[in-house]
Structure 1
Amino acid sequence: MPGTAGKHRISRRTKIATGVMALAVAAGGITAATTFGASDQASADEADPALYIDILKVKPNNFEPANSRGASTGTFTVDCGRNENQHFNPDNFVAQPGVRNGAQHLHDYVGNLSSNADSNNKSLEAAGTTCKNGDKSAYFWPVVRIDTGDEEKNPPAKSPDGDRDQAAQAAASPVITCPDVASRLPDVPDSAMAEVNRNLDLLDTQIDEANKRLISTRGQGGPNFVQNAILGPLKDKRVATIDRMAIAIGRTAAKPQGLDALAPCTLKEQAGTGGNPASNGGGAPGGAAQQITCPDVASKLPAVPASAKAEVDRNLQLLNTQLQEANQRLVSTQGQGGPNFVQNAILGPLKDKRVATIDRMAIAIGRTAAKPQGFDALAPCSLGQGGNNGNNGGATATPPLPGPDANNELPENDGRIQRPAKVGITFRGSAAGKVVAMPKFLRALSGDAKPSINGTKNTRAAWTCTGFENRLTDKYPICPEGSKVERIHDFPSCWDGKNTDSANHRTHIVFPDRNGRCAAGFTAVPQLRTTLVYDIPHDIQVKKQYKVDSFPSEKHNPLSDHDDFANVMSQSIMNQVVNCINRNKTCTA
């Protein structure tokens, strides 16, 4: 359950800037050892000193809601290590699928070994994991660095690992996807648990075998070969497997009905999306060859009068939405029309929308200050293409974003990377009642990486010190001697019951209210809490020489801290999570 936190003020040095999506050269995994910088003069790219606070000056503000009768109070903790294998990249397949270096800052990864910009459901499923219980989920967050100005550079980038190569190959072929069964099961009696979990594992095995056969028989048979030789037999196996689970549950409880409807599976072409029928098209693209990019507007604005700020912010957000919708249309209409289709059907209308939106901002500013001139020149957008400039109605290719340099440093994100001393990944219950299984391939976000653009609606105070977890702050904490810097990321836990993703990656799974209750139409699933503890020397804290990686526009604002998750647990592991939580147990895997 999330802690209670009020609205947060953005640093005076944080600039408003629109997020521009662009393609970049691929960044492989990055190697970085954990050391502590010397106490010396801070470099030119330190975080604003005003963004640090003594944790003792933060009042207690993080309280759990009272448990109602029937609350689920169990916890399930997964050991996925501390990124000892040094899996880093500046990608984010949850928030910016298919955009290499889309994050413009490095992420720390644990769990799934193949996580990168091109990840999709199938590639994630094919990869290995650092989690001891076999959980293939992806967990990732921005790295923290010590920035003293004299630390050694991070070692050169390592080659992409075998899992990443294997996953990329797997993502290129069609995939068989099946409805999630674990999330549709009722409460499983203890007497049936072993048999149910055994058959949930068998369902996963059956899908894996069917996908392998799909690859090995490619090109064989007629138009109905896949249906008759693979999907049909798979359905029959699933009917029998699901029926065994229903019978096992029915021995000591009400036998679940209608589960046979979950038996049929479907074939999806891998047009960049690894699917799941439960996802309703919410899977992440496996690779985006093209991306629309637009000139930055916010950074070109003059000082915005207080009377115009709300309207300007609203229209800046609208520019982002317009760009996102245009990129989505670019994907959905791929291959349609003639050589001028993109220009006439997407880029042209997008320009018209941007002209009107930009003009509204200029008018708002002009009511109480000088009206900015010449902003219409920022309206036209262009189509960039990674590694290949195609003929798309004469659109101009956009230069790639700068990638990591020879020492793995990214622009405006430098300093010595700090590996967490401790990583805690725990799934928790609901104060209002039982939880249900989250569907496989569910995506979720905690926090917002661009508060200067998006506002503070989705930001979360995440910083604290060990021993002071009831005090969360949106600033970098300075901890007492013997206490360590800590980040606590709570994820939303009220699922809409249908989608594994949504256009803004948020509306399909939201936070409960302050009493721990989900809104109408939403159901509680296990809530993920990630805790990250760092051995940052006390003098480094006092000298304000540590910071989190961020988009350049955020200037290392700690309010931009965020976390990402994609559920790739097997159905049996998810079933163990749910039953542990609903039985109020404390489990570790």
Structure 2
Amino acid sequence: MAVAVVAASGILTATFVSSGGKGTADASTEINQFVAIQNVRPNVQNPASGPGASKGSFTVDCGTNGNGKFSPDNPVAQPGIKNGAEHVHDFVGNLAITANSSNADLDASGTTCKNGDKSSYFWPVVRIDKTVRSGADTQRALAATTPMVTCPSVRNRLPAVPAQAKRAVDNRLAELDRGYAAANERMATGKGRIDARLNSSVLADLRDQRTTLIRGISDSIAAAGGGRTSGMISLVECDTNYDGMHAAMRHTAASVKAGLAANQQVQCPTVRDKLPGIPTAALDEVNRNLTELDRQISEANERLVTTRGQGGKNFVDNAILGPLKAKRTAVLDRISIAISRRAARPQGLEKLAGCTVTDQAPSQNGPGNQNGGAAAPSAPAALPDPQGPNLELPNNTGGIVRPASVRIEYRGNATSKVVPMPKFLRALTGDAKPISRGPANARATWACSGFTDRLSDKYPICPPGQQVQRVQDFPGCWDGKNIDSTNHRDHVAFADTKTGACKQGFAAIPQLRITLSYDIPRDVQTKGQYALDSFPEEDHNPFSDHNDFINVNSAQTMQRIATCINKGKTCR
């Protein structure tokens, strides 16, 4: 397996070995992932502020996930892929967000933030697990696994497709399917091992192909009168997939229903992929109704969070799913009527009205054909939903430690004033897969309170009375045009570490820093008994820490944030 480490000096080094891991089933073999914070040399360097610097800060209080909004979705890095993270995230801020949320859904959501900020902030949970974690188990699971790729569905995220463009769109969707299959043939050559170079090559080639095809789909829809599609760029990037490892991993709570602890999510049949080509005159009406279907699901998901624990055993069916089915039935009927005025009425749409929640039906997210077709014969079983009172997924076990505090802070730039972030900007920091994709984007985040001058890529052991911390800085520069990019990174960038300046063509924006502080018993620290949820191939690698963000601040609030920072004030 590939192992990435940051030396005590803070210099990034990477070592790739053909096999190995963390040794035997002795818990002490995991202690090499832990370091006394006093043994980490100071390595945090802040550029000196110049005359044009923006020195203020703006802090937002969004709580510590008191609602218990936990999910294995990652709406930034794996949009449209249910359980795409394969580990559980803490969510604060936006209450409705799931992997499928549209910008309109996010904007209509409630929030945990005291100032009304509807942005979504989320990160992998930390667990305390006093049982033995075995690197050998991970090696055995890997040896039996054929890696694959996972791609966001395109067919299920399209707007109404004009009848004149249907053939061209279907042809390109079929090409996406063939590209996905070809990528998995290449990935199969890496069975039983992790080859970061192979993975990088496959993903890069697939990204180029999907960029061209998805742009072509968007152009075909626009040329036929369907208007420009939005958000399609977010569907380009695919990811490595070692789901098969889950079958051999320990899952202590598999027999316990997820409803005991996990946030349920509404699961409804897809509609977009069931529609015929739409007559031009009906496009606007059909698209309005498709948006309404999305909004209904979003509202139902938010209710599942805000009404958690209310009512009896039939509360969800009677208060959420029943009304949702009635609303969907009416909207699906309106879609059928709109089409039937100018073409044959589509048959069977009414059968798509009924929905379930995640503890009533198995997950529908197998890797399969990620563009909306049938699942590939070689696809592993769908990843299960989080299970039991600890929301466990295979090998991500133990009780979740909720942060004692979450500090969300927007900061300035050392050389220039900041411009407001655009609404719906997506950003991420760190890399959840430094082993399977290489460590280029990974960042050291671990620290202890009282030691803000150093960050480690290992789990810290803190002095008595000090908190374990994760300090996660987001890119503070923006290309001035895009809210996302094909790899979810290129539209934003980190400022120069020495000067603090943004690279040419990029403007400084309020830089987001999220500091998570945990009260973890010191004996748990010294025994190496706390760890990050991770993808299976990462095996709780502390260097896989990451954080994701979608800006849903209003334009007025974001302007207030930028003004505060530019004036050098400290605001809340």
Q: Same fold (TM over 0.5)?
A: yes
Pairwise CA RMSD:
3.6
* Cα offset, 1:412, TM superposition: 1.3
2:99 aligned to which of 117, 124, 129: 117
1:560, 1:422 → 2: CA distance? 21
1:404, 1:44 → 2: CA distance? 29
2:178, 2:561 → 1: CA distance? 39
Q: Which moved more, 1:489-498 or 1:6-15?
A: 6-15
Structure 1 equivalent of residue 200 of structure 2: 317
1:445, 1:143 → 2: CA distance? 16
The one-letter code matched in structure 2 to 1:431 is A
1:456 aligned to which of 435, 439, 452: 439
* Cα offset, 1:15, TM superposition: 7.6
Residues 548-579 of structure 1: per-residue CA shift (max 9 Å, x gap): 01111111010000000110100010011000
Structure 1 equivalent of residue 131 of structure 2: 149
2:60, 2:89 → 1: CA distance? 20
Aligned residue for 1:64, secondary structure, equals coil
Conserved? CA contact 1:104–1:551, under 8 Å: yes
CA change 1:410–1:313 in 2 (3 A) is closer
Aligned residue for 2:512, secondary structure, equals strand
Aligned residue for 1:529, secondary structure, equals strand
Unaligned runs of 5+ in 1: 17-41, 151-171, 175-267, 272-287, 304-311, 338-381
Conserved? CA contact 2:47–2:414, under 8 Å: yes
1:503, 1:335 → 2: CA distance? 15
The residue correspondences of 1:88-167 to structure 2 (distance < 5 A) are 88-149=70-131
1:77 paired with 2:59, answer yes
- Higher RCO (C-alpha 8 Å, min separation 6): 1
Structure 1 equivalent of residue 319 of structure 2: none
The one-letter code matched in structure 2 to 1:401 is A
Structure 2 equivalent of residue 66 of structure 1: 48
1:468 paired with 2:451, answer yes
1:300 aligned to which of 174, 184, 191: 191
* Cα offset, 1:403, TM superposition: 1.5
CA change 1:499–1:388 in 2 (3 A) is closer
CA change 1:431–1:405 in 2 (3 A) is closer
1:532, 1:47 → 2: CA distance? 27
1:11, 1:417 → 2: CA distance? 31
* Cα offset, 1:70, TM superposition: 1.8
Conserved? CA contact 1:90–1:101, under 8 Å: yes
CA change 1:495–1:301 in 2 (3 A) is same
The residue correspondences of 1:29-428 to structure 2 (distance < 5 A) are 48-149=30-131, 269=159, 292=180, 294=184, 296-297=187-188, 300=191, 313-325=196-208, 384-385=368-369, 390=374, 396=377, 398-404=379-385, 406-407=387-388, 408-428=391-411
Structure 2 equivalent of residue 438 of structure 1: 421
Conserved? CA contact 1:429–1:435, under 8 Å: yes
* Cα offset, 1:454, TM superposition: 2.2
The one-letter code matched in structure 1 to 2:106 is L
1:384, 1:335 → 2: CA distance? 24
1:490 aligned to which of 473, 478, 485: 473
Aligned residue for 1:454, secondary structure, equals coil
Residues 176-227 of structure 1: per-residue CA shift (max 9 Å, x gap): xxxxxxxxxxxxxxxxxxxxxxxxxxxxxxxxxxxxxxxxxxxxxxxxxxxx
Conserved? CA contact 2:471–2:514, under 8 Å: yes
Structure 2 equivalent of residue 196 of structure 1: none
Aligned residue for 2:469, secondary structure, equals strand
* Cα offset, 1:9, TM superposition: 4.0
CA change 1:51–1:406 in 2 (3 A) is closer
CA change 1:547–1:173 in 2 (3 A) is closer
Corresponding residue pairs, total = 376
Structure 1 equivalent of residue 503 of structure 2: 519
2:568, 2:178 → 1: CA distance? 48
Q: TM-score, normalised by structure 2?
A: 0.60
Structure 2 equivalent of residue 33 of structure 1: none
Structure 2 equivalent of residue 551 of structure 1: 535
* Cα offset, 1:333, TM superposition: 6.3
Aligned residue for 2:127, secondary structure, equals strand
Conserved? CA contact 2:179–2:209, under 8 Å: no
Aligned residue for 1:459, secondary structure, equals coil
Percent identity between the two aligned chains: 47
Structure 2 equivalent of residue 157 of structure 1: none
CA change 1:477–1:323 in 2 (3 A) is same
Structure 1 equivalent of residue 526 of structure 2: 542
Q: TM-score, normalised by structure 1?
A: 0.58
